[in-house]
Structures are given as structure tokens and as C-alpha cells.
């Protein structure tokens, strides 16, 4: 994207303020499910999902505006996939991922037409159909027109393993090891969510009706894919930040962590003072000794009734303590789930690290003096 593109973090307040008055469409519930399917806790925080939504929305609005500029330069009336591919031409890895997605969409369309057809046994019927392989043909024709060295066309035939996808799959496989059947069912449902399955809501969310140059159907597919990939990349970076911010045993940089952090985590596990343990051993607090002589029948009946009363009281007290323990355990589970979730601070730190250029002259570079660059382009 261009150097004058707005920052997701800097434009988040203005974007959210603008949407708060006239825009009611929100993807926060869907984003929470997507974040869970991408490696977050089972109950992602609402504040974190709202921040991710604002970042993704800002990214896509900037992408739409730049794609509209490219479309106007070539005299088109709609935003086509060529405009988006042209903006992504400098990042070969992400373009390869996009081309594979377009191939997958063509394969899915071909499969659906084969299922609906009355004669699915003819394998050559869809082999040369331009309507079925329209996405691949469109990308191939456009890349051939701008390719001078053959590196773009080579991406269509590249079978290299996507390391980012591989790392995500390995992380999710480790995440599902400790799940029970209900948790895994929720995880599978969350994995099926995408922006493309809610096309009308997604178009309304981007406010495409107010654009002079509107995207066509294939461009909306690409935009929905890029939106999901942006969420995935944000979660990837936030998990790395969360891992770095988690204190480790024997960490040589542990002294740099604030004292309030240790005070908060050590308050629940502090041992009781020694004085409280010694109070029960003092003679004043010891119970009186029981008489050793024989008891009369009246005394025995009184003791029996007292023992029964004490038994009922002990049962009531034990039931109350069990209820308290259940409430405490539920509260502890909720606090543990909230602490294991990605926090908004993790998202902000991930964006800051993504925009930071490492080098001896990085404080004086143009990239660090301007707003953060776009995540996916």
C-alpha cells in the first residue's frame, strides 16, 4: 500500500467513532469464534475482538480505496481481482497463498457443479470450461501481462510448503489435544466460520454501497479471504507477544517485570503466618479434657442428643463449604480463562512490533515516523 495509508492503531479511534454513529453491523461474535479457532482461548475477550475488528475494518477500507484508484487508472467501472493482485505483487508469499485460494475456489465450484449435474461421469466436460476455472484463468492472464521475468507465473505452479500454514496447523493440533468432545465440537464449528459465508453482512460492514467504484463478486471473495488472513496474522503475532510477556522460571530478565505483577500472583499463594499455626498449640486454646469417670444414663442421653445436633451442624457446614468451594473453583476457572485469553495489550504490542524496523538508523527512517504500514499488503 502507499506510504500515506492510515495506521490501524492510529485510525482505530476515528474509525470506531465513525462507525458508532451510523454503522451497526458488527462481526465481534464471529471474530471471537475465529480467534478461538486460530489459537486463542475458548472464550476470547470482547474488548480484544472489538480491537481486532477495528484493525481489520481499517485495513480493508484502505485496500478498497487503493484498489478503486487502480481501477480508475485503467478506466474500469468496478474493482476486479486484477486490481487487488496488482497491489499484492510485491509480496510473493502472500500472493502465492492468494493464488492457491483462488484455485481452491475454482475446484469447489467445479465439484459443486459435478454434484448437481445429471451426468457426472464425463471427466472432460469441465476440464476446459472457462466458467469453472475463471479465477485461475483470470489470474494467469493478468500475471502474464505484467510479468517480465516469469516469477509471477511460476507462483501458479509452485508446490512449496507454506511455513505459516504449517505452523498454524501444528499449533492447533497441540491445542486440540486437551479438548473433550464438546470443546472439540465447538472448535470444529468455529473452524468453519469465514467472512465469505456472510457475504451480504460483509458487504454491509464494508459499506460498499457508498463507493463510487464497487467490487465485483470475485473481488468480494478475495476481500473476505484477506480479512480472515488478517485476523489470522494478528492472532499469530499476538500469541508470540503473549509468549514473550509470560514470565519464565529462571528468566534473567525477570527483574524487569513490574513488582505489582509478582505481588498480584503471589498474594494467592502466600503461606499463613507462623503465629496462626502456633495459636492452636497454646494451652488457652486447647479444648477441656473429657471426664474419665462413669456417666449416668441422663448424662449419656444428653451427650447423645448433643452429638446428633453437632452431626447435623457439621453436615450443614460441610455442604456450605462445598458450595463455597464450587463457587471459588468456578470463579478461578473464569479468571484462568480470562488470563489465558489474548489481551488488547497483546494486540497493540504486536502491531507496534510489526511496524518497527530493526536497524541502526531505524529511529530516523520514514517508516517509523509515519503510521504503521498495512498488515497484509
Domain edges within the chain: 12-246+339-369
Whether 227 and 195 have beta carbons less than 8 Å apart is answered as yes
The answer for residues whose C-beta is within 8 angstroms of residue 342's C-beta and 6 or more apart is 35, 40, 41, 44, 45, 48, 235, 238, 239, 242
The answer for residues whose C-beta is within 8 angstroms of residue 185's C-beta and 6 or more apart is none
Q: Which pLDDT score, from 0 to 100, does residue 299 have?
A: 55
Q: Which pLDDT score, from 0 to 100, does residue 54 have?
A: 96
Cell (9 digits) for 361: 538508523
Q: Which pLDDT score, from 0 to 100, does residue 58 have?
A: 94
CA torsion sign for 246, 252, 253, 254 is: positive
- Number of H helices and E strands in the chain, helices first, is 16, 2
Cα separation of the two ends of the chain: 6
Quote the CA–CA distance of 282 and 221 in Å, as a whole number: 77
Cell (9 digits) for 11: 485510525
Angstrom CA distances, 210 to 65, 239, 324, stand at 12, 36, 56
Quote the CA–CA distance of 345 and 43 in Å, as a whole number: 17
Whether 87 and 1 have beta carbons less than 8 Å apart is answered as yes
Residue whose C-alpha cell is 473433550: 180
Q: Which pLDDT score, from 0 to 100, does residue 134 have?
A: 81
Q: Measure CA 338 to chain center.
A: 14
Q: What is the pLDDT along the chain (377 residues), one digit of tens a residue?
A: 444 443 333 344 344 444 443 357 899 999 999 999 999 999 999 999 999 999 999 999 999 999 999 999 989 999 999 999 999 888 888 888 898 888 888 888 888 877 766 555 555 554 545 556 788 888 888 888 888 787 878 887 777 888 888 999 999 999 999 999 999 999 999 999 999 889 999 999 999 888 889 999 999 999 999 999 999 999 999 999 999 888 776 666 655 555 444 444 444 444 443 333 344 444 444 455 555 555 555 555 554 555 555 555 555 566 666 566 555 544 444 454 567 899 999 999 999 988 876 666 655 555 544 444 456 55
Quote the CA–CA distance of 13 and 51 in Å, as a whole number: 10
Q: Which pLDDT score, from 0 to 100, does residue 360 have?
A: 67
Quote the CA–CA distance of 153 and 151 in Å, as a whole number: 6
Angstrom CA distances, 78 to 162, 169, 260, stand at 32, 36, 55
Amino acid at each position: 500500500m502507499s506510504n500515506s495509508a492510515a495506521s490501524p492503531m492510529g485510525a482505530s479511534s476515528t474509525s470506531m467513532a465513525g462507525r458508532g454513529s451510523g454503522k451497526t453491523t458488527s462481526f465481534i461474535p464471529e471474530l471471537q469464534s475465529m480467534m478461538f479457532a486460530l489459537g486463542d482461548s475458548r472464550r476470547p475477550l470482547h474488548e480484544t475482538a472489538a480491537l481486532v475488528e477495528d484493525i481489520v475494518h481499517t485495513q480493508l477500507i484502505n485496500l478498497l480505496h487503493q484498489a478503486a484508484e487502480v481501477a480508475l487508472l485503467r478506466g474500469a467501472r468496478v474493482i476486479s481481482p486484477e486490481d487487488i493482485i496488482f497491489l499484492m505483487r510485491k509480496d510473493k508469499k502472500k500472493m502465492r497463498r492468494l493464488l492457491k485460494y483462488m484455485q481452491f475456489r475454482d475446484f469447489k465450484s467445479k465439484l459443486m457443479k459435478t454434484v448437481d449435474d445429471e451426468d457426472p461421469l464425463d471427466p472432460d466436460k469441465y476440464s476446459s470450461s472457462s466458467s469453472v476455472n475463471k479465477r485461475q484463468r483470470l489470474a494467469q492472464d493478468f500475471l502474464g501481462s505484467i510479468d517480465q521475468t516469469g516469477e509471477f507465473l511460476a507462483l501458479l505452479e509452485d508446490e512449496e510448503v507454506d511455513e505459516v500454514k504449517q505452523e498454524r496447523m501444528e499449533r492447533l493440533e497441540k491445542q486440540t489435544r486437551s479438548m473433550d468432545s464438546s470443546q472439540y465440537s465447538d472448535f470444529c464449528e468455529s473452524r468453519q466460520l469465514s467472512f465469505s459465508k456472510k457475504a451480504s453482512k460483509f458487504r454491509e460492514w464494508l459499506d460498499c454501497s457508498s463507493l463510487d467504484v464497487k467490487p465485483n463478486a470475485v473481488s468480494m471473495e478475495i476481500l473476505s479471504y484477506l480479512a480472515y488472513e488478517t485476523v489470522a496474522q494478528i492472532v499469530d503475532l499476538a500469541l508470540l507477544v503473549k509468549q514473550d510477556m509470560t514470565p519464565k522460571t529462571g528468566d534473567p530478565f525477570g527483574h524487569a517485570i513490574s513488582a505489582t505483577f509478582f505481588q498480584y500472583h503471589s498474594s494467592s499463594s502466600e503461606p499463613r503466618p507462623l503465629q496462626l499455626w502456633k495459636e492452636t498449640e497454646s494451652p488457652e486454646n486447647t479444648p477441656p479434657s473429657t471426664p474419665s469417670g462413669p456417666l449416668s444414663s441422663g448424662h449419656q442421653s444428653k451427650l447423645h442428643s448433643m452429638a446428633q445436633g453437632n452431626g447435623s451442624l457439621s453436615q450443614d457446614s460441610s455442604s456450605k463449604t462445598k458450595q463455597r468451594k464450587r463457587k471459588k473453583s468456578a470463579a478461578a476457572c473464569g479468571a484462568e480463562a480470562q488470563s489465558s485469553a489474548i489481551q488488547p495489550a497483546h494486540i497493540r504490542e504486536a502491531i507496534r512490533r510489526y511496524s518497527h524496523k530493526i536497524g541502526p538508523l531505524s529511529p530516523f527512517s520514514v517508516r517509523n515516523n509515519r503510521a504503521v504500514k498495512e498488515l497484509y499488503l
